[in-house]
Structure 1
Amino acid sequence: MTADRKSAYAAKREVKVSVKNLTKKYGDLLVLDNINFDIYKGELLCIVGPTGCGKTTFLNCLSRFIPITEGTIDVDGIPADPHVHNIAFVFQEVSAIPWLTVEDNIRFGLRIKRLPEDEIEKRVERMLDIVGLTKYRTYYPQQLSASMEQRVVIARNFAINPDLLLMDEPYGQLDVKLRYYLEDELMRIWKELGSTVAFITHNIEEAVYLAERILILSPKPSTIKEEVIVDLPHPRQFDDPKFVALRDYVTESIKWW
Protein backbone atom coordinates (compact mmCIF):
# COMPACT_ATOMS: atom_id res chain seq x y z
CA MET A 1 0.00 0.00 0.00
CA THR A 2 1.45 3.37 -0.98
CA ALA A 3 2.07 5.99 1.70
CA ASP A 4 -0.53 8.32 0.14
CA ARG A 5 -3.16 5.61 0.05
CA LYS A 6 -2.40 4.58 3.60
CA SER A 7 -2.67 8.19 4.76
CA ALA A 8 -5.98 8.67 2.95
CA TYR A 9 -7.40 5.50 4.52
CA ALA A 10 -6.20 6.45 8.02
CA ALA A 11 -7.47 10.01 7.71
CA LYS A 12 -11.06 8.74 7.59
CA ARG A 13 -10.66 6.61 10.72
CA GLU A 14 -10.37 6.90 14.47
CA VAL A 15 -7.61 4.79 16.01
CA LYS A 16 -8.99 2.15 18.39
CA VAL A 17 -5.87 0.04 19.01
CA SER A 18 -2.31 1.29 18.67
CA VAL A 19 0.58 -1.20 18.62
CA LYS A 20 4.09 0.19 18.95
CA ASN A 21 7.37 -1.76 18.72
CA LEU A 22 5.67 -5.07 19.58
CA THR A 23 8.35 -7.69 20.17
CA LYS A 24 7.92 -11.23 21.52
CA LYS A 25 10.69 -13.65 22.41
CA TYR A 26 10.60 -17.14 23.88
CA GLY A 27 14.04 -17.35 25.41
CA ASP A 28 16.43 -16.70 22.52
CA LEU A 29 13.75 -17.34 19.89
CA LEU A 30 12.53 -14.07 18.37
CA VAL A 31 8.96 -14.56 17.11
CA LEU A 32 7.62 -11.01 16.63
CA ASP A 33 10.11 -8.33 15.68
CA ASN A 34 9.31 -4.67 16.39
CA ILE A 35 5.80 -4.58 14.88
CA ASN A 36 3.95 -1.27 14.52
CA PHE A 37 0.38 -0.75 13.32
CA ASP A 38 -3.03 0.66 14.24
CA ILE A 39 -6.48 -0.92 14.20
CA TYR A 40 -9.23 1.58 13.49
CA LYS A 41 -12.56 1.83 15.28
CA GLY A 42 -15.18 -0.34 13.60
CA GLU A 43 -12.63 -1.91 11.25
CA LEU A 44 -12.56 -5.52 10.15
CA LEU A 45 -8.85 -6.25 9.80
CA CYS A 46 -7.49 -9.56 8.54
CA ILE A 47 -4.00 -10.83 9.31
CA VAL A 48 -2.32 -13.36 7.02
CA GLY A 49 1.13 -14.83 6.63
CA PRO A 50 3.06 -18.01 5.88
CA THR A 51 2.57 -21.10 8.02
CA GLY A 52 4.48 -20.88 11.28
CA CYS A 53 5.07 -17.14 11.11
CA GLY A 54 3.57 -16.50 14.53
CA LYS A 55 0.02 -15.38 13.68
CA THR A 56 -1.49 -16.95 16.80
CA THR A 57 1.29 -15.56 19.00
CA PHE A 58 0.54 -12.18 17.44
CA LEU A 59 -3.13 -12.45 18.43
CA ASN A 60 -2.31 -13.75 21.90
CA CYS A 61 -0.13 -10.69 22.47
CA LEU A 62 -2.96 -8.39 21.34
CA SER A 63 -5.32 -10.09 23.79
CA ARG A 64 -2.69 -9.89 26.54
CA PHE A 65 -3.14 -13.63 27.11
CA ILE A 66 0.65 -13.78 27.06
CA PRO A 67 3.16 -11.12 28.15
CA ILE A 68 4.99 -9.15 25.48
CA THR A 69 8.77 -8.79 25.58
CA GLU A 70 8.92 -5.18 24.41
CA GLY A 71 6.59 -2.50 23.12
CA THR A 72 3.12 -1.21 23.95
CA ILE A 73 -0.48 -2.01 23.06
CA ASP A 74 -2.99 0.75 23.76
CA VAL A 75 -6.78 0.62 23.48
CA ASP A 76 -8.48 4.01 23.36
CA GLY A 77 -5.22 5.64 24.36
CA ILE A 78 -4.48 3.60 27.50
CA PRO A 79 -2.55 0.33 27.95
CA ALA A 80 -4.58 -2.72 26.94
CA ASP A 81 -5.79 -4.55 30.04
CA PRO A 82 -8.39 -7.37 30.09
CA HIS A 83 -9.53 -6.06 33.49
CA VAL A 84 -10.31 -2.67 31.95
CA HIS A 85 -11.19 -3.39 28.32
CA ASN A 86 -13.64 -5.81 26.77
CA ILE A 87 -11.29 -7.96 24.70
CA ALA A 88 -13.09 -11.00 23.32
CA PHE A 89 -11.52 -14.04 21.62
CA VAL A 90 -12.96 -16.63 19.22
CA PHE A 91 -10.63 -19.63 19.05
CA GLN A 92 -9.88 -22.10 16.25
CA GLU A 93 -11.85 -24.78 18.09
CA VAL A 94 -15.55 -24.24 18.73
CA SER A 95 -15.69 -23.09 22.35
CA ALA A 96 -19.34 -23.12 23.34
CA ILE A 97 -19.61 -24.23 26.97
CA PRO A 98 -21.19 -27.70 26.69
CA TRP A 99 -23.10 -27.71 29.99
CA LEU A 100 -24.79 -24.36 29.30
CA THR A 101 -27.77 -23.75 27.03
CA VAL A 102 -27.55 -21.40 24.08
CA GLU A 103 -28.95 -18.47 26.06
CA ASP A 104 -26.76 -19.20 29.09
CA ASN A 105 -23.68 -19.34 26.85
CA ILE A 106 -24.54 -15.82 25.69
CA ARG A 107 -25.18 -14.71 29.29
CA PHE A 108 -21.85 -16.11 30.47
CA GLY A 109 -19.55 -13.19 29.61
CA LEU A 110 -22.17 -10.63 30.60
CA ARG A 111 -22.40 -12.09 34.08
CA ILE A 112 -18.62 -12.16 34.42
CA LYS A 113 -18.74 -8.44 33.61
CA ARG A 114 -21.41 -8.11 36.34
CA LEU A 115 -23.83 -6.15 34.20
CA PRO A 116 -27.28 -5.42 35.64
CA GLU A 117 -29.65 -8.31 35.08
CA ASP A 118 -32.08 -6.30 32.94
CA GLU A 119 -29.20 -5.23 30.66
CA ILE A 120 -28.03 -8.83 30.42
CA GLU A 121 -31.46 -10.02 29.34
CA LYS A 122 -31.79 -7.21 26.81
CA ARG A 123 -28.47 -8.12 25.22
CA VAL A 124 -29.22 -11.85 25.24
CA GLU A 125 -32.52 -11.30 23.45
CA ARG A 126 -30.89 -9.05 20.88
CA MET A 127 -28.08 -11.48 20.11
CA LEU A 128 -30.43 -14.46 19.91
CA ASP A 129 -32.41 -12.51 17.32
CA ILE A 130 -29.33 -11.32 15.41
CA VAL A 131 -27.86 -14.83 15.03
CA GLY A 132 -31.25 -16.48 14.44
CA LEU A 133 -31.19 -18.78 17.47
CA THR A 134 -34.22 -17.61 19.44
CA LYS A 135 -36.02 -20.92 18.79
CA TYR A 136 -33.00 -22.83 20.06
CA ARG A 137 -32.37 -20.82 23.22
CA THR A 138 -32.82 -23.80 25.56
CA TYR A 139 -30.76 -26.22 23.45
CA TYR A 140 -27.32 -27.41 24.50
CA PRO A 141 -24.32 -27.17 22.12
CA GLN A 142 -24.31 -30.93 21.44
CA GLN A 143 -27.85 -30.60 20.07
CA LEU A 144 -26.78 -28.05 17.46
CA SER A 145 -25.10 -28.24 14.07
CA ALA A 146 -21.50 -27.03 13.76
CA SER A 147 -22.56 -23.75 12.17
CA MET A 148 -25.18 -23.09 14.86
CA GLU A 149 -22.68 -23.82 17.62
CA GLN A 150 -20.20 -21.37 16.11
CA ARG A 151 -22.99 -18.77 15.95
CA VAL A 152 -23.45 -19.25 19.70
CA VAL A 153 -19.75 -18.49 20.23
CA ILE A 154 -19.91 -15.42 18.01
CA ALA A 155 -23.05 -14.19 19.79
CA ARG A 156 -21.44 -14.69 23.21
CA ASN A 157 -18.45 -12.57 22.18
CA PHE A 158 -20.36 -9.80 20.42
CA ALA A 159 -22.80 -9.57 23.36
CA ILE A 160 -20.20 -7.93 25.61
CA ASN A 161 -19.76 -5.07 23.11
CA PRO A 162 -16.02 -5.82 22.86
CA ASP A 163 -13.49 -3.05 22.46
CA LEU A 164 -11.68 -5.56 20.27
CA LEU A 165 -12.85 -8.94 18.99
CA LEU A 166 -9.97 -11.27 18.11
CA MET A 167 -10.71 -14.26 15.88
CA ASP A 168 -8.09 -16.97 15.35
CA GLU A 169 -8.99 -18.97 12.21
CA PRO A 170 -12.48 -19.59 13.61
CA TYR A 171 -13.78 -21.33 10.47
CA GLY A 172 -10.66 -23.28 9.53
CA GLN A 173 -12.06 -26.66 10.60
CA LEU A 174 -15.42 -26.26 8.86
CA ASP A 175 -16.31 -27.37 5.36
CA VAL A 176 -16.46 -24.81 2.56
CA LYS A 177 -20.24 -24.37 2.55
CA LEU A 178 -20.41 -23.74 6.32
CA ARG A 179 -17.43 -21.40 6.16
CA TYR A 180 -19.06 -19.24 3.48
CA TYR A 181 -22.28 -19.13 5.47
CA LEU A 182 -20.55 -18.08 8.70
CA GLU A 183 -18.40 -15.50 6.90
CA ASP A 184 -21.62 -13.86 5.71
CA GLU A 185 -23.06 -14.09 9.23
CA LEU A 186 -19.96 -12.39 10.64
CA MET A 187 -20.18 -9.61 8.06
CA ARG A 188 -23.84 -9.00 8.88
CA ILE A 189 -23.28 -8.86 12.66
CA TRP A 190 -20.14 -6.73 12.33
CA LYS A 191 -21.98 -4.18 10.19
CA GLU A 192 -24.98 -4.09 12.52
CA LEU A 193 -22.96 -3.67 15.73
CA GLY A 194 -20.02 -1.63 14.42
CA SER A 195 -17.47 -3.72 16.34
CA THR A 196 -13.70 -3.67 15.84
CA VAL A 197 -12.47 -7.08 14.64
CA ALA A 198 -8.99 -8.53 14.07
CA PHE A 199 -9.33 -11.82 12.17
CA ILE A 200 -6.44 -14.24 11.58
CA THR A 201 -6.71 -16.65 8.67
CA HIS A 202 -4.47 -18.79 6.50
CA ASN A 203 -7.13 -18.64 3.77
CA ILE A 204 -6.32 -15.73 1.44
CA GLU A 205 -9.70 -15.86 -0.28
CA GLU A 206 -11.40 -15.55 3.11
CA ALA A 207 -9.24 -12.52 3.97
CA VAL A 208 -10.09 -10.72 0.74
CA TYR A 209 -13.77 -11.60 1.15
CA LEU A 210 -14.00 -10.20 4.69
CA ALA A 211 -11.41 -7.50 5.25
CA GLU A 212 -11.34 -3.78 4.80
CA ARG A 213 -7.57 -4.02 5.25
CA ILE A 214 -5.10 -6.92 5.31
CA LEU A 215 -1.81 -7.10 7.20
CA ILE A 216 0.69 -9.47 5.59
CA LEU A 217 3.20 -10.91 8.06
CA SER A 218 6.67 -12.12 7.08
CA PRO A 219 8.17 -15.45 8.18
CA LYS A 220 9.68 -15.59 11.68
CA PRO A 221 10.86 -13.36 13.13
CA SER A 222 7.62 -11.75 11.97
CA THR A 223 7.28 -8.18 10.88
CA ILE A 224 4.54 -6.52 8.84
CA LYS A 225 5.63 -6.91 5.24
CA GLU A 226 2.75 -4.96 3.76
CA GLU A 227 -0.70 -3.49 4.36
CA VAL A 228 -3.30 -3.99 1.63
CA ILE A 229 -6.54 -2.01 1.45
CA VAL A 230 -9.44 -4.06 0.12
CA ASP A 231 -11.58 -1.32 -1.38
CA LEU A 232 -14.30 -3.58 -2.77
CA PRO A 233 -17.95 -3.15 -1.77
CA HIS A 234 -19.78 -5.83 0.20
CA PRO A 235 -21.11 -8.33 -0.64
CA ARG A 236 -18.09 -9.42 -2.67
CA GLN A 237 -18.10 -11.84 -5.55
CA PHE A 238 -15.37 -14.47 -5.81
CA ASP A 239 -15.34 -14.24 -9.61
CA ASP A 240 -15.07 -10.43 -9.72
CA PRO A 241 -11.82 -9.68 -11.63
CA LYS A 242 -10.83 -7.11 -8.96
CA PHE A 243 -11.39 -9.70 -6.23
CA VAL A 244 -9.31 -12.27 -8.12
CA ALA A 245 -6.53 -9.74 -8.71
CA LEU A 246 -6.36 -8.85 -5.00
CA ARG A 247 -6.42 -12.49 -3.96
CA ASP A 248 -3.59 -13.31 -6.35
CA TYR A 249 -1.58 -10.29 -5.22
CA VAL A 250 -1.80 -11.22 -1.53
CA THR A 251 -1.03 -14.85 -2.33
CA GLU A 252 2.11 -13.90 -4.22
CA SER A 253 3.14 -11.49 -1.46
CA ILE A 254 3.12 -14.40 0.97
CA LYS A 255 4.54 -16.99 -1.40
CA TRP A 256 7.59 -15.19 -2.75
CA TRP A 257 10.12 -13.80 -0.29
Structure 2
Amino acid sequence: METAANHPYAEHRKIKVQVENLTKCYGDLLVLDKINFEIYQGELLCIVGPTGCGKTTFLNCLSQFIPMTEGSILVDGVPASPEIHNIAFVFQEVSAIPWLTVEDNIRFGLRIKRLPEAEIEQRTERMLDIVGLRKYRTYYPQQLSASMEQRVVIARNFAINPDLLLMDEPYGQLDVKLRYYLEDELIRIWKELGSTVAFITHNIEEAIYLAERILILSPKPSTIKEEVIVDLPRPRQYDDPEFVRLREYVTERIKWW
Protein backbone atom coordinates (compact mmCIF):
# COMPACT_ATOMS: atom_id res chain seq x y z
CA MET A 1 0.00 0.00 0.00
CA GLU A 2 1.40 3.38 -1.01
CA THR A 3 2.24 6.08 1.51
CA ALA A 4 2.61 9.83 1.12
CA ALA A 5 6.39 9.40 1.01
CA ASN A 6 6.29 7.34 -2.21
CA HIS A 7 3.16 8.77 -3.80
CA PRO A 8 2.74 11.96 -5.88
CA TYR A 9 0.03 12.91 -3.37
CA ALA A 10 2.58 14.87 -1.30
CA GLU A 11 4.90 16.19 -4.00
CA HIS A 12 3.62 19.75 -4.14
CA ARG A 13 1.86 20.02 -0.78
CA LYS A 14 2.96 22.27 2.05
CA ILE A 15 3.31 20.69 5.48
CA LYS A 16 0.88 22.51 7.78
CA VAL A 17 1.31 20.49 10.97
CA GLN A 18 4.35 18.46 11.98
CA VAL A 19 4.18 16.10 14.94
CA GLU A 20 7.47 14.76 16.29
CA ASN A 21 7.88 12.02 18.91
CA LEU A 22 4.42 12.60 20.42
CA THR A 23 4.40 10.59 23.65
CA LYS A 24 1.76 10.50 26.38
CA CYS A 25 1.94 8.63 29.67
CA TYR A 26 -0.52 8.49 32.56
CA GLY A 27 1.74 7.46 35.39
CA ASP A 28 3.27 4.15 34.33
CA LEU A 29 0.74 3.64 31.52
CA LEU A 30 2.21 4.47 28.10
CA VAL A 31 -0.68 5.46 25.80
CA LEU A 32 1.07 7.16 22.84
CA ASP A 33 4.57 6.05 21.94
CA LYS A 34 6.78 8.41 19.90
CA ILE A 35 4.27 9.19 17.15
CA ASN A 36 5.60 11.05 14.10
CA PHE A 37 3.54 12.35 11.15
CA GLU A 38 2.64 15.42 9.09
CA ILE A 39 -0.64 16.95 8.05
CA TYR A 40 -0.62 18.84 4.76
CA GLN A 41 -2.16 22.24 4.10
CA GLY A 42 -5.80 21.78 3.09
CA GLU A 43 -5.79 18.04 3.80
CA LEU A 44 -8.70 16.00 5.11
CA LEU A 45 -6.94 13.35 7.19
CA CYS A 46 -8.71 10.54 9.03
CA ILE A 47 -7.31 8.65 12.00
CA VAL A 48 -8.57 5.15 12.78
CA GLY A 49 -7.55 2.41 15.19
CA PRO A 50 -8.88 -0.31 17.47
CA THR A 51 -11.16 0.56 20.38
CA GLY A 52 -9.18 1.82 23.36
CA CYS A 53 -6.01 2.55 21.40
CA GLY A 54 -5.91 6.19 22.51
CA LYS A 55 -7.50 8.02 19.56
CA THR A 56 -9.15 10.67 21.74
CA THR A 57 -5.98 11.11 23.82
CA PHE A 58 -4.14 11.55 20.52
CA LEU A 59 -6.52 14.33 19.46
CA ASN A 60 -6.48 15.96 22.90
CA CYS A 61 -2.69 16.20 22.70
CA LEU A 62 -2.90 17.73 19.21
CA SER A 63 -5.39 20.32 20.47
CA GLN A 64 -3.26 20.88 23.58
CA PHE A 65 -6.24 20.21 25.83
CA ILE A 66 -3.86 17.91 27.68
CA PRO A 67 -0.07 18.19 27.85
CA MET A 68 2.23 15.81 26.04
CA THR A 69 4.71 13.84 28.09
CA GLU A 70 7.30 14.27 25.33
CA GLY A 71 7.44 15.57 21.78
CA SER A 72 6.53 18.67 19.81
CA ILE A 73 3.79 19.95 17.54
CA LEU A 74 4.65 22.57 14.93
CA VAL A 75 2.13 24.61 12.93
CA ASP A 76 3.68 26.32 9.92
CA GLY A 77 7.07 25.53 11.45
CA VAL A 78 6.29 27.26 14.76
CA PRO A 79 5.50 25.50 18.07
CA ALA A 80 1.73 25.21 18.33
CA SER A 81 0.32 27.82 20.69
CA PRO A 82 -3.26 28.97 21.43
CA GLU A 83 -1.92 32.53 21.45
CA ILE A 84 -0.68 32.22 17.85
CA HIS A 85 -2.74 29.54 16.14
CA ASN A 86 -6.42 28.79 15.68
CA ILE A 87 -6.95 25.13 16.59
CA ALA A 88 -10.66 24.25 16.62
CA PHE A 89 -12.30 21.12 18.03
CA VAL A 90 -15.61 19.40 17.25
CA PHE A 91 -16.48 16.95 20.03
CA GLN A 92 -18.32 13.61 20.00
CA GLU A 93 -21.26 15.26 21.73
CA VAL A 94 -23.05 18.11 19.95
CA SER A 95 -21.67 21.24 21.60
CA ALA A 96 -23.78 24.14 20.40
CA ILE A 97 -24.11 26.70 23.20
CA PRO A 98 -27.78 26.34 24.26
CA TRP A 99 -28.38 29.92 25.40
CA LEU A 100 -27.07 31.44 22.15
CA THR A 101 -28.92 31.67 18.85
CA VAL A 102 -27.54 30.08 15.69
CA GLU A 103 -25.90 33.30 14.58
CA ASP A 104 -24.47 34.05 18.02
CA ASN A 105 -23.05 30.52 18.23
CA ILE A 106 -21.19 31.22 14.99
CA ARG A 107 -20.02 34.62 16.27
CA PHE A 108 -18.83 33.16 19.58
CA GLY A 109 -15.32 32.08 18.56
CA LEU A 110 -14.83 35.20 16.48
CA ARG A 111 -15.59 37.38 19.48
CA ILE A 112 -13.24 35.33 21.67
CA LYS A 113 -10.56 36.13 19.07
CA ARG A 114 -11.56 39.83 19.35
CA LEU A 115 -11.84 40.34 15.62
CA PRO A 116 -13.24 43.63 14.31
CA GLU A 117 -17.03 43.69 14.40
CA ALA A 118 -17.30 44.18 10.63
CA GLU A 119 -15.21 41.06 10.01
CA ILE A 120 -17.23 39.09 12.55
CA GLU A 121 -20.42 39.97 10.71
CA GLN A 122 -18.92 39.17 7.32
CA ARG A 123 -17.73 35.76 8.42
CA THR A 124 -20.99 34.99 10.22
CA GLU A 125 -23.06 35.82 7.14
CA ARG A 126 -20.83 33.70 4.94
CA MET A 127 -21.05 30.68 7.25
CA LEU A 128 -24.84 31.00 7.55
CA ASP A 129 -24.97 30.75 3.75
CA ILE A 130 -22.43 27.91 3.53
CA VAL A 131 -24.27 25.69 6.03
CA GLY A 132 -27.75 26.71 4.83
CA LEU A 133 -28.98 28.13 8.14
CA ARG A 134 -29.76 31.73 7.21
CA LYS A 135 -33.51 31.14 7.76
CA TYR A 136 -32.78 29.76 11.22
CA ARG A 137 -30.32 32.40 12.38
CA THR A 138 -32.44 33.49 15.37
CA TYR A 139 -33.33 29.95 16.48
CA TYR A 140 -31.83 28.35 19.59
CA PRO A 141 -30.17 24.90 19.44
CA GLN A 142 -33.10 23.18 21.18
CA GLN A 143 -35.35 24.35 18.33
CA LEU A 144 -33.21 22.58 15.72
CA SER A 145 -32.88 19.01 14.51
CA ALA A 146 -29.75 17.05 15.45
CA SER A 147 -28.23 17.52 11.99
CA MET A 148 -28.91 21.27 11.99
CA GLU A 149 -27.40 21.64 15.45
CA GLN A 150 -24.25 19.83 14.34
CA ARG A 151 -24.07 22.17 11.34
CA VAL A 152 -24.08 25.10 13.78
CA VAL A 153 -21.09 23.58 15.60
CA ILE A 154 -19.25 22.97 12.33
CA ALA A 155 -19.99 26.54 11.16
CA ARG A 156 -18.73 27.98 14.47
CA ASN A 157 -15.44 26.13 14.11
CA PHE A 158 -14.88 26.80 10.41
CA ALA A 159 -15.71 30.50 10.94
CA ILE A 160 -12.44 31.18 12.77
CA ASN A 161 -10.43 29.99 9.74
CA PRO A 162 -8.69 27.35 11.86
CA ASP A 163 -5.09 26.40 11.23
CA LEU A 164 -6.28 22.90 12.12
CA LEU A 165 -9.81 21.60 12.73
CA LEU A 166 -9.91 18.49 14.92
CA MET A 167 -13.04 16.33 14.84
CA ASP A 168 -13.51 13.52 17.36
CA GLU A 169 -16.13 11.07 16.02
CA PRO A 170 -18.61 13.95 15.59
CA TYR A 171 -21.24 11.81 13.84
CA GLY A 172 -20.88 8.65 15.91
CA GLN A 173 -24.14 9.17 17.84
CA LEU A 174 -26.27 10.05 14.81
CA ASP A 175 -28.32 7.64 12.74
CA VAL A 176 -26.97 6.46 9.40
CA LYS A 177 -29.03 8.82 7.23
CA LEU A 178 -27.95 11.90 9.20
CA ARG A 179 -24.34 10.73 9.21
CA TYR A 180 -24.27 10.39 5.43
CA TYR A 181 -25.81 13.83 5.05
CA LEU A 182 -23.32 15.50 7.40
CA GLU A 183 -20.36 13.71 5.83
CA ASP A 184 -21.34 15.23 2.49
CA GLU A 185 -21.78 18.63 4.17
CA LEU A 186 -18.31 18.38 5.70
CA ILE A 187 -16.72 17.55 2.34
CA ARG A 188 -18.53 20.45 0.66
CA ILE A 189 -17.48 22.99 3.32
CA TRP A 190 -13.90 21.66 3.50
CA LYS A 191 -13.51 21.94 -0.29
CA GLU A 192 -15.02 25.45 -0.37
CA LEU A 193 -12.87 26.81 2.47
CA GLY A 194 -9.66 24.83 1.89
CA SER A 195 -9.33 24.05 5.60
CA THR A 196 -7.00 21.50 7.18
CA VAL A 197 -8.98 18.80 8.99
CA ALA A 198 -8.00 15.82 11.18
CA PHE A 199 -11.01 13.55 11.72
CA ILE A 200 -11.05 10.64 14.18
CA THR A 201 -13.51 7.82 13.57
CA HIS A 202 -13.99 4.18 14.52
CA ASN A 203 -16.06 3.72 11.34
CA ILE A 204 -13.81 2.45 8.53
CA GLU A 205 -16.40 3.14 5.85
CA GLU A 206 -16.66 6.74 7.03
CA ALA A 207 -12.87 7.11 6.88
CA ILE A 208 -12.70 5.80 3.30
CA TYR A 209 -15.58 8.07 2.28
CA LEU A 210 -14.07 11.24 3.77
CA ALA A 211 -10.30 11.00 3.75
CA GLU A 212 -7.55 11.86 1.35
CA ARG A 213 -5.23 9.92 3.65
CA ILE A 214 -5.78 7.61 6.62
CA LEU A 215 -3.48 7.05 9.58
CA ILE A 216 -3.94 3.65 11.23
CA LEU A 217 -3.06 3.55 14.94
CA SER A 218 -1.85 0.39 16.63
CA PRO A 219 -3.22 -0.86 19.97
CA LYS A 220 -1.74 0.73 23.10
CA PRO A 221 0.91 1.90 23.37
CA SER A 222 -0.18 3.51 20.11
CA THR A 223 2.08 4.25 17.20
CA ILE A 224 1.33 4.97 13.54
CA LYS A 225 0.99 1.45 12.19
CA GLU A 226 0.45 2.53 8.59
CA GLU A 227 -0.77 5.35 6.39
CA VAL A 228 -3.07 4.74 3.45
CA ILE A 229 -3.65 7.11 0.53
CA VAL A 230 -7.31 7.16 -0.53
CA ASP A 231 -7.00 8.08 -4.20
CA LEU A 232 -10.67 7.87 -5.18
CA PRO A 233 -12.73 10.43 -7.12
CA ARG A 234 -15.54 12.32 -5.40
CA PRO A 235 -18.38 11.82 -4.87
CA ARG A 236 -17.36 8.35 -3.67
CA GLN A 237 -19.56 5.31 -4.09
CA TYR A 238 -19.79 2.68 -1.38
CA ASP A 239 -20.17 -0.10 -3.96
CA ASP A 240 -17.15 1.00 -6.03
CA PRO A 241 -14.83 -2.08 -6.11
CA GLU A 242 -11.83 0.08 -5.14
CA PHE A 243 -13.80 1.57 -2.22
CA VAL A 244 -14.66 -1.95 -1.05
CA ARG A 245 -11.05 -3.09 -1.44
CA LEU A 246 -9.72 -0.18 0.63
CA ARG A 247 -12.36 -0.73 3.31
CA GLU A 248 -11.42 -4.39 3.60
CA TYR A 249 -7.70 -3.58 3.64
CA VAL A 250 -7.95 -1.00 6.44
CA THR A 251 -10.29 -3.27 8.42
CA GLU A 252 -7.80 -6.11 8.24
CA ARG A 253 -4.93 -3.85 9.29
CA ILE A 254 -6.87 -2.86 12.41
CA LYS A 255 -7.86 -6.47 13.15
CA TRP A 256 -4.27 -7.64 12.87
CA TRP A 257 -4.21 -9.26 16.30
Asked whether the two chains share a fold, i.e. TM above 0.5, the reply is: yes
* Distance (whole Å) between structure 1 residues aligned to residue 211 and residue 57 of structure 2: 20
Q: Which residue of 1 aligns with 2:179?
A: 179
Q: Take 2:237 and 2:5, find their aligned partners in 1: how far apart are those partners?
A: 24
Q: Deviations over 1:221-241 (max 9, x none)?
A: 000000000000111000000
Q: Who is 1:247 aligned against?
A: 247
Deviation (angstroms), 1:5? 5.5
- Structure 1 81/5 Cα, relative in aligned 2: closer, same or farther at 3 Å? closer
* CA positional deviation for 1:83: 1.7
**Cα distance, 1:2 vs structure 2:** 3.9
2:158 is aligned to 158
Equivalent residue runs for 1:58-137 within 5 Å: 58-137=58-137
Cα offsets for 1:113-149 (capped at 9, x unmatched): 0000000000000000000000000000000000000
* Number of the residue aligned with 1:206: 206
For structure 2, the 5+ residue unaligned runs are: none
Contact 2:87/2:166 (<8 A) preserved? yes
Q: How many residue pairs end up in the alignment?
A: 257
| 2:107 match: secondary structure | helix
Asked whether the 8 Å contact 2:165–2:195 carries over to 1, the reply is yes
| Mapped partners of 1:129, 1:68: distance in 2 | 38
User: Given the superposition, is the C-alpha separation of residues 188 and 2 from structure 1 closer, same or farther in structure 2, using an over 3 Å criterion?
Assistant: closer
Distance 1:177 1:79 in 2: 40
Q: CA deviation at 1:21?
A: 0.6
Report if aligned partners of 2:2, 2:229 keep a CA contact under 8 Å in 1: no
* Letter paired with 1:97: I
* Unmatched runs of 5 consecutive residues or more in structure 1: none
Question: How many angstroms does 1:11 deviate by?
Answer: 1.6
Partner of 2:218: 218
Number of the residue aligned with 2:20: 20
2:175 maps to a residue whose letter is: D
Distance 2:3 2:173 in 1: 37
TM-score, normalised by the number of residues in structure 1:
0.98
Alpha-carbon displacement from aligned partner over 1:18-58 (angstroms, at most 9, x marks no partner): 00011000111000000000000000000000000000000
Give the 3 Å change call, closer, same or farther, for CA 211–4 of structure 1 in structure 2. closer
The normalised TM-score by structure 2 is 0.98
- Among the aligned pairs, what percent are the same residue? 86
Kept in 1: contact 2:47–2:200 (CA 8 A): yes
Counterpart residue number, 1:48? 48
Q: Secondary structure at the match of 1:45?
A: strand
2:37 aligned partner, one-letter code:
F
Q: Provide the aligned C-alpha RMSD in A.
A: 1.0
